[in-house]
Structure formats: C-alpha cells, structure tokens
Chain A
Amino acid sequence: MPRKCGNCTNNAVLKRPKTGDALCKDCFYWAFEEEIHQTIVDAGLFSPGDTVAIGASGGKDSTVLAHTMKVLNDRHDYGLKLILLSVDEGITGYRDDSLETVKRNQQQYDLPLTIVSYEELYGWTMDAIVEQIGLKNNCTFCGVFRRQALDRGAMKLGATKIVTGHNADDIAETVIMNVLRGDIARLRRCTAITTGADGYLPRCKPFKYAYEKEIVMYAYFKQLDYFSTECIYSPNAYRGYARTYIKDLEKIRPSAIIDIIHSGESLSVKKDVKMPQQTVCSVCKFVSSNEVCKACVLLEGLNKGRPRLGIGKTHKERRKWEEDLAEEASRLSLHNTAVSGSSDCGQGCARDEVNGCGSVFVGADEDDVNGDGRRNGCCGGTGSGGCGTTQRENRMPAQKVITARTTMRNLLDF
C-alpha cells in the first residue's frame, strides 16, 4: 500500500531527509518554499527595494535558489529586484557548459543575467592557472578569486545584497573543515546566515537549513533545468575528505547535518584567543584579513611565475624565491650576496623568530629585488602574532610598478 502524505490525502512520493516525514509533491513544494520564506523573514535577510544578485552557477543549488527567490518574491511581495550573476572561471568543458544552462535559466525565469570572468578581472583563466600550479591547491585560487569576482560583479550591477545557494550540507562541511584546519576565525563566521555586513555587500544564504537532498528532490520533481557535473579540477581538494565524512554521517543519522550546524551555531570562542581583524587590502581596497588580501598575493605569485606564493606559508616561498634570486645575482656577479639565507637579519627580525616567524629578510639591498615581496614577507600575514610592528618598520616603500599592480589598477577602474 502506498504511503500517504503526512499533510493531505494524496499518496506520498518522497520521504523528507530532514524530518523523515512522507509528503506528496505539492505538500513538499509548499513546505520547502515556505521554509525558505521563514528563514528569510526570521533572519530579516532583505528589505523592500533591495537589488539582489543571485550567484548563479547553473548547478542545482543556484538554479533552485533562482527559482525559489522568484516564486517567493512574487508570492510574498518582498519588493526585490532580482538579477542573476555568474562568474566565468574559464574552465573548458565545465564552466562553459554550465553557463549555457544559466543562459537558459535567464529566459526561463525572465531575470537579467551578467557574467564576469576571471580573465577580464585577473588576466588568468582557471585553465591557465591549473597549467601553472597543477591539480593540487588549484581550488584555493578558484575559491579566493570567486569571492572577489562576485563582489565586483554585484557592485557593478548596483546590487545591495548577494545571495548564494550554499545549503545545509555545504555549511556542515565547512564547519568540519575549519575544525580540521584549525581555522578558528572562519569556524566562528561560517555558520552566520549573513556575512560581510559592515560597509560591504552583505551575502546571505537562504538555503542554510535546506538539505542538499531536498534541493535535488525539488529540482528533480519540478524538472528544473540544471547542470550536474562535478568540476573537472576539484577531485584533489581537501574539502573532499570533509564532504565524504558528512555524507557518511548522514547515512548513519540523517539529522547529523543540521546537528552539526547547531553545534557550529553554539560554539563560542575563548575571549583571550586572538582574532584576525578584518581590514582593507592595501592594493585592491577590498575587504581582507591581512594588509594585502589573499587574491592579490595569489595574483602576484601567478604574475611573477611563483604560483605557490599564496599557498601554505607565504614566507617560506618568499625565502626560496629570494634564495633563487640571490643565487642568480651572485652568478651574474652583479651584487654581492643579497640575501644571506641565515636567520640573523639584524633588523629586529630576530624577535620574530621567537614568534615562530622565521623570516630571513635582509633589507640592505637598495635595488629591492623583493619589490612588493616586502609587504608581508615577514609572517606571511598568517597572524602568528607579535610581529606586526616589526613587519611594518621593515617595510620599504614599493618602488617598482609591476605587472600585478597594473592588472589590479585596470580592474579597479570598472
């Protein structure tokens, strides 16, 4: 005998992963949409008149998000202006296909669409980046660049809010990943429904409490047009471990996903733990946890043929770089050894050693081979504590106009 819908007299077609209740199609649509509405209302995500940029990748989450936002905006009279915003990372065989889906969605939902590309913003496509860095750590580039790309695109469009399709599974995964990586600042932020409020475009996640499975079910029963291929460059990401763990947990106890979010929401950080302060990147003027934001460091590395600069500990890569340069310099006998490679630098960096900084700078070389390298070479901006002042004292004014800088200038002008 077919199981009945828990809410009406029709036959049930699905069992909700979130609560275990059986529902028919229509009751499920209604419940799913109203839950999103409830989240939006409870958290006060929007105000009437907002222009909301929907981060659209063409995947299931963003397709369902675009659909639901449109439905709810009409049904509950939010008074929002909705626009689709896509980022083209330049991944042949993946993003070009998924963007086709977004273009179809644009017509299906009658929403304006804008596409910003890594190539126009940074001068690099992901294809070119992967060529440099290989299939390890490439997701770091993509993730960091995308965050900024969305912000830039949304600002260009005059949007007041950004919504993304992050679902409950994504958030649970991020909680676990931040515990594994020991990233306490992100661990604290990652369960917030809205981030980046002060002064910057707020980003919200209306699907924060929606199970990925339910989103797939919704898209499946509504026969929404979405693109469902995994990114061809992502199989090696560390995130994959957290993802597998979450999926395994869900099999054992379906509520685990929401339980992890509850855990994340009720975590508190000790008062004496030092938190990185959010500031503004001195190069590109975007929000950043460090003097220079990650995107600029990564970009500098790419432009200088040192793609690993922003991966792992920046100061290590800088040291290697300096050593290479020094070697070259001594080979050409242009200078005496510019960088000693030993750990005494005589400029107060010895103090940094105590803080585990281990920087090996010599500031004597007037030619400044390090160029911008100086600006956060001391501790790689990872906030290992106590070396902030020294770092600033040591910093030399950047004298050279380098390619990275010009690229950044160009893209600031839009």
Chain B
Amino acid sequence: MCNVEDQERNGSENLPVSSSGKSLTGSGCVKCGEPGVLVTRIHDSFCKSCFQVYVVHKFRSAIGKSKLIRDGETVLVAFSGGGNSSALLHLIQDGLSLRAHKRLRFTPTLLHIDESCISGVRSDELRQKREKIRQIMIKSGFPSYWTQLEQSLNIYPELSSKSMSKSKSSENPASPNSLWLTDLGQEPAPNQVPDDPPLEESRKLQDLIKSFKSSTAQEDFIHNLRNQLLVAAAQQLGFSKILTAESSTRLAVHILSDIAQGRGSQVSLDTGISDERNPGVMFMRPVRELNAKELAMYNSLFGVDTVFMPTLTTKTSIASSIERLTETFVTGLQADYPSTVSNIVRTSGKLGGPDVKRTDKCSFCQSPLDTDVGKTSALGAVLFSQHMSRPKMVDPKDNKERVSDGPVYSNGTHTPIASMPNLKEALCYGCRLSLHEFDGDTSMLPTLITKRAMWSIQERQKDELSGYLLEEDVEVNGVG
C-alpha cells in the first residue's frame, strides 16, 4: 500500500506502479471513481473519503458484531501514544463527534502506562515525549489517567472468588491506596511535564527485568505485567472493559510468537476480539481487522499525532527475541504473500479458548492452566528427558543449586510456596518458560504473582485435606 500523493509531491518522474504493472495514479477509487490517493490490499485504490469509510466501517463493525459494549457504557482505553492506539483514539473521537452518522454509544476514559523505565535511561527526550502524550490525552477531552509500569510491583491481587466467599473481609483488596493512578484533569497546563517515575521503584523493576536471562522472557514478562496493571487500574477505576489497539499485523505476530512460546491454548484469548480471562475485566480489540499499514496510512492522511516510544528490542538484531524474530518473519512473508497476515489471524479466529471460568488459573497471566496433560505429551516428554539425563542420586553441587533456587519467603511467613519449584506449579506452561530463565530471588517478583501462587497452593492443599480439616484456618495467610 502506498500513498500516491507522496510520490507526486516529491516531483518524482516514476509514477507508482502496482504489482500488476499498471500505473496507479490513473486508477480511480474502486468505490466512487474519484482519483485514488492510496492503494490498499493488492491493487485496489481508494480516495481519501472512501478510505475513511472503509477504516471506520472495520472499526465499528468489530465493535458491533461482538455485541459486547452496552449502550452508554464507560470503557477504559489503553493509550500508549503509538500509531495503533493513536488511530484508535482518533476513530473514537470521530465516532463520538456530532458529524458521525451514527454516534458511538460508549464513553471512553484514557489510561497511559509510562514504560520509559524499561530502557533504563532518563533523558529530556523521553520527558518531552511523555509531555506530548499527556497533551494529546488532555486535548482529547476525555477523562485521562496516568500510571507507571513500576506500579505493577505494588498492586495486590483481588482475592480469588473461592476465598472471597469464605472470608468476607475487605471489599476491594486491590486498592491499598489510589495514589498510583494520576488523574490528568481537564485543563492543559503546558509546562507541567509528568515526573520521572520514582527512582527506587524504577531500579527495582529494572533489576527484576534484568534477572530474566533472555529478551524473549523479558518481553513476555513485561507484556503480562502490563496487562495485569491495566486490569488492576480498570478494577480500581470501576471499569469492566479495556479497549486495546492491536492491529491485525500485530496480532499475527502475537499468534505465532504465542505458539512458539508454548501458549497455544491462550492464542484465542490473546488475539480474539475479546479476552475474559481476568475476572470482572474484559479486554477488547476493536481495530483487529485493520493491518498496521492501514492504520499508519490513516494516521498520515488525517494528521493524527503519534509518539514513538522505543521498546526493549528496538534497534536490536532480528534474533534478539522470539517476538522480534517473528515480527521480521511475518512482515517479510507478508511482502511476498500479501494474504499472510489475514491467513494467520483467520486461523486463530477458528480456535476456541479454554474455559475461562475454571478456577485453576495461572498465577501470573490468569489463563486457565494448560499443564494438566496426559502422559504422551510434549510436557511429559521433556520431563522424562530430564529424568533420563540427570543423575538419579542428587549430587552435592546440584543440591546446592536447588537450595539457592528456593529461599524462604522474605516477609516472614514461613510458607514454602515462594520457592521456585512450588511457584512454577501455579503457573501456565508459557509463564513457566519465562520463569525458567529467571535467576533472581523469588522475593523480587511482584507481590501479585507470589500472593496468587500462595493462594492457589493453599487451595490445592485444602482440597487434598478436605474432610480432615476443621473450619478455622480460613484467614491464616489470607490478605498480606
């Protein structure tokens, strides 16, 4: 896809030519016959207004088809400032404006998670970018909130429904305080650059991320951490839906890298129109039927401001992480076979998800556990291979390693579950893989994970002992 006008403005003699060899400037819009300004798909050109109709239709039909948003509902929109979420914001603004043919029926609130600490530097450039994002959010006129990825270390998990019914304690344990969400207010205050995240917290998070040995595990960990923070913010602010702006290209990459990281059972949750694995909060992906180029084109044609924030693997080699490799793979294939992205996304559309109402969920990503597999399984085969190639008698060296693997949980409760092997029991296959590459102390991990793991193990123990325990130990290690 390319913008025809770009070429003309440059005064280039070479007119853009489609793959079929015919000149594109001459070809009219496939809808109305007006001169086309851009080419989508293979060689269909669109004029500007028909392209807008096309994009808006894809966005609205995704919302409409799903029938998930009720009239007048308020939703939280995750806004990173990047191309996709900027386009989503613009589409929402446009759909709510008076000139829209049928106005959208929901009310958005924006939330930005500042992830600048991942890069490990604090620079004026980053501060300027932050300020620009803040300005865009305020200018939108929607209520806007700001938080930092560091806060994910402090959030407390909601009690699982099972323990909630037993202990009718605090109504909302997810809120020790609400200081971690900053209301940006309505008035644009030009010189108020958002603060750098608190230094100590940033260090803590950076150390934690660095304790994962590979970029693959780091990216996977950050991804899940971000999602959990979004969920916590939505719960805190009383939202039941979060809109995120993954394009189809992004989703295609996600589908393949999910599969490559053992998250096959989660593909449909991770990439479908909605994701209900987190209790009470649903993720929705309303621009999933538009690809990255269409959204970028939309931004460029309609002058949408975007802010580029570098990620962990920006400007690294293609082999630096599975996600980075997959991105290169998909975009490369897409260039040769233009149906690649839609093929992949369509495949995932036919996949069913696990039952999200199950109680045995991963303590981190909240997906139903996929580790209860039969004897003939990949997991079983790996365990057997390990059994075959490791000594039957534990030698002193190996034993020592195992001890350092599992220190006693640091906050004084002498529960054995914070040791790594126990923790892994409460995680799904994919999260286990990431944690496998973690060589830090388990006390560095976010409370969220360790708390949930603790509960899940207690639940399991309780189930095993049911009938022998007398009703009294409910509150033993409940809320920390």
Contacts and interface: CB of A to CB of B under 8 A. Distances in A.
Interface string A68-92: 0000000000000000000000000
B260 A264 contact: no
B189 interface: no
Contacts of A258: 378, 381-382
Given A7-B389, A180-B340, A18 B382 contact: yes
B343 A241 contact: no
B389 A268 contact: no
Interface in B332-387: 333, 340, 343-344, 346-348, 350-354, 370, 373, 375-382, 384-386
Sorted nearest first, the 6 A-B pairs with minimum C-beta distance are A263-B264, A209-B381, A259-B262, A262-B378, A266-B265, A31-B388
7 contacts: A42-B376, A179-B256, A209-B382, A253-B216, A256-B322, A259-B261, A263-B259
A260 B259 contact: yes
Interface string A276-314: 000000000000000000000000000000000000000
A178 B374 CA distance: 24
A193 interface: yes
Contacts of B258: 263
B325 interface: yes
Contact of B321 (A18, A252, A260, A261): A252
A329 B261 CA distance: 58
Interface in B238-283: 255-256, 258-265, 267-268
A256 B260 contact: yes
B3 interface: no
A179 B385 contact: no
Nearest to A191: B378
Interface residues of B, number: 51
Interface residues of A, number: 54
A267 B268 CA distance: 9
B351 A19 contact: no
Interface in A158-182: 175-176, 178-182
B162 to A, nearest CB: 24
B375 A42 contact: yes
Contacts of B381: 35, 38-39, 208-209, 258
A270 B382 contact: no
Given A6-B389, A248-B329, A262-B429, 5 more contacts: A19-B386, A27-B389, A182-B343, A265-B378, A266-B429
B344 A180 contact: yes
B307 interface: no
A8 B271 CA distance: 47
Interface of B: 214, 216, 255-256, 258-265, 267-268, 319, 321-322, 325-326, 329, 333, 340, 343-344, 346-348, 350-354, 370, 373, 375-382, 384-386, 388-391, 429, 433
A39 B376 contact: yes
A43 interface: yes
Contact of B389 (A21, A256, A273): A21
Contacts of B370: 262, 266
B322 A249 contact: yes
Nearest to B374: A42
A252 B324 CA distance: 11
A269 B352 contact: yes
Contacts of B354: 268
Given A34-B388, A252-B322, A180 B265 contact: no
Given A252-B319, A260-B260, A31 B351 contact: no
Interface in A44-67: none
B391 A7 contact: yes
A273 B268 CA distance: 14
A193 B379 CA distance: 14
A184 interface: yes
A264 B259 contact: yes
A241 B388 CA distance: 34
A264 B346 CA distance: 17
Given A182-B347, A268-B352, A193 B267 contact: no
A23 interface: yes
B467 to A, nearest CB: 32
A394 interface: no
B448 to A, nearest CB: 24
A324 to B, nearest CB: 22
Given A16-B385, A193-B376, A266-B265, A249 B260 contact: yes
Contacts of A38: 381, 384
Contacts of A178: 347
A267 B389 contact: no
A251 B325 CA distance: 11
Contacts of B379: 262
Given A39-B381, A252-B214, A263 B265 contact: yes
Interface in A233-275: 241, 245, 248-249, 251-253, 255-256, 258-271, 273
